Chains A and B, each alone.
Chain A
Amino acid sequence: MTQTDIRAVVLATLKSIAPEVEVDALSGDRPLRNQVDLDSMDWLNFLLGLNKRLKVEIPEADYRKLVTLDDVVAYLQAKVD
């Protein structure tokens, strides 16, 4: 899957959690959870969404690596290939 495909999946998953957010307007390099109000439940559901769609395991320990949108896409790209 290309980077743009993964990015599209990430944004779609985010949209399903926070429908009122304009996901295309999000900046890739600023902390995602500062731009979108995601409490711990939303965050867990977001990761579960990615897990389901991309069949990628995301252990709690890796949460620290997933601060910005780009981080998430890169992390997933590495896992998927």
Chain B
Amino acid sequence: MIEFKLPALGADMDEGTLLEWRVKPGDAVKKGQVIAVVDTAKAAVDVECWQDGTIGELLAEVGQKMPVGTVMATLRAAGEKAGEKAGEAAGKAVAAKVGDGGTAAAKVGPGGTAAAPAKLPQTEPQTAPQAAPAAPAQRRLISPAARKHAAENGVDIDSLTGTGPHGAVILADVETAAAQGAPAAPRPPAAVTAELPSAEKGATRIAAMRQAIATAMARSKREIPHYYVSEDIPLARALAWLQAENSQRAMAERLLPAVLLLKAVAVALRGYPELNGWCHDGAFVTAERSNLGVAISLRQGGLIAPALLDAGTKPLTTLMQELTDLVQRARAGSLHSSELTDGTITVTNLGDQGTQAVFGVIYPPQVALVGFGRIVERPWAEDGGIKVLPVVTASLAADHRVSDGHRGALFLRELAELLQHPEELDKEAS
């Protein structure tokens, strides 16, 4: 059974209207015979059939408007008995396929579908101009060169008076300002962590970092209603397991307690999505993965919290390697941008020189921060008796817009429970 479809009748034609059938079911037709008249945008046109055969059914009615490729009639190829399905027929007629029924004008036939739009070759380096940075409320005239120089030299362009046309700030204004050491430009927190000043910028770099931390912390305190909860967690079993584990490992493979604590936080977070994500303009978005921002103090001063990505799914050995590498790169100033901006929660003060407890300030736009104090031998009441056990005080600072103290407390209890089964923490997360 051959399908007779409305052919494409000219380069600019999408559809046609059947004016007249020249045949009726059962008529024998020869190749090239006109079997219908179709009205196109230009005029009425005779439509030929391309196969010998006999007309089966006339599907399109007179006056029917249809897109190119619509099946108008069926045809039994020469020698094909009525009722047989297309294909089995002895006839070798090639079933006319125009796209998948789509109008021919809309797309070329199946063989002719235009190739996927691949990258066009560039003849000249076309660098689309980056969008100008967010303009302040009332747009000041600032030349692109002035903006560029200010950005490169940390000059606060808003504090300058322009000497260019119409009071525009021009390059010379920025150059003189930079020379006189004008105040460093305030930067939104994300920007500061994204752009770690490289070593050779020295003093201005430290100043710039201090400025950035100040801005971030001020914003955090201004916008985020913190609540705090804390829990003392016995680590006897954890440290014993760690010591046993390290005794079988080469020095280079040795695990630090910090890794255990980090993994516990990541695993515990799975049950508390409201602590793991970001809050922009009051709208909270939970993150699928837990990227732990690890607060690392830089030797020459300053603090940075690059993220251990997807910490919840990694075995301790991997986490240890990643942590070591992260600290090294943080101090060398060669962090990846994703590590700087993708943290979903921050964990701080894992150092053994810190205080017994630390209550941190949340790092916007995150919504929680876990603090671990120094691991200390403390008296611990158990089964009516007193023992001396290594204990760590874990604290949680969280954004009350997004979660409540009750949930924060449950999270810390979960954390404590997980640390009682260190061997469980070493497996790959299922």
Contacts and interface: CB of A to CB of B under 8 A. Distances in A.
Are A and B in direct contact (Cβ within 8 Å)? Answer: yes
Interface of A: 18-20, 33, 37-41, 44-45, 47-48, 51, 57-61
B254 A40 contact: no
B40 interface: no
Interface in B225-272: 243, 246-247, 251-252, 254, 256-258
Contact of B327 (A41, A51, A57, A59): A41
A48 B250 CA distance: 10
B195 interface: no
A37 B353 contact: yes
Given A48-B251, A59-B247, A40 B299 contact: no
B243 A48 contact: no
The 7 closest A-B pairs by CB, nearest first: A39-B351, A51-B251, A40-B352, A40-B256, A41-B327, A60-B246, A20-B299
A39 B300 contact: no
9 contacts: A18-B299, A33-B353, A39-B297, A40-B256, A40-B351, A41-B327, A48-B251, A60-B247, A60-B254
B150 interface: no
Contact of B243 (A41, A57, A60): A60
A80 to B, nearest CB: 16
Contacts of B300: 20
B350 interface: yes
Contacts of B243: 60-61
Nearest to B351: A39
B324 interface: yes
A60 B247 CA distance: 8
Given A39-B351, A39-B352, A40-B351, A58 B251 contact: yes
B299 A19 contact: yes
B253 to A, nearest CB: 10
B300 to A, nearest CB: 6
A58 B251 CA distance: 8
- Sort chain B's interface into a size bin: 10 to 19
A39 B295 CA distance: 13
Contact of B254 (A19, A33, A44, A61): A44
Contact of B252 (A18, A33, A48): A48
Interface of B: 243, 246-247, 251-252, 254, 256-258, 297, 299-300, 323-324, 327, 350-353
Contacts of B258: 40-41
B292 to A, nearest CB: 15
A64 to B, nearest CB: 12
A61 B239 CA distance: 12
Given A33-B353, A59-B247, A60-B243, A41 B323 contact: yes
A60 B327 CA distance: 21
Contact of B350 (A33, A40, A45, A58): A40
A48 B320 CA distance: 14
B257 A40 contact: yes
A44 B74 CA distance: 82
Contacts of A20: 299-300
Contacts of B351: 39-40
A45 B297 CA distance: 16
A45 B331 CA distance: 14
B324 A41 contact: yes
Nearest to A57: B251
B349 to A, nearest CB: 10
A51 B252 CA distance: 9
B352 to A, nearest CB: 5
Nearest to B251: A51
Contacts of A51: 251-252
Contacts of A59: 247
Nearest to B296: A41
A49 B258 CA distance: 20
Contacts of A44: 254, 256
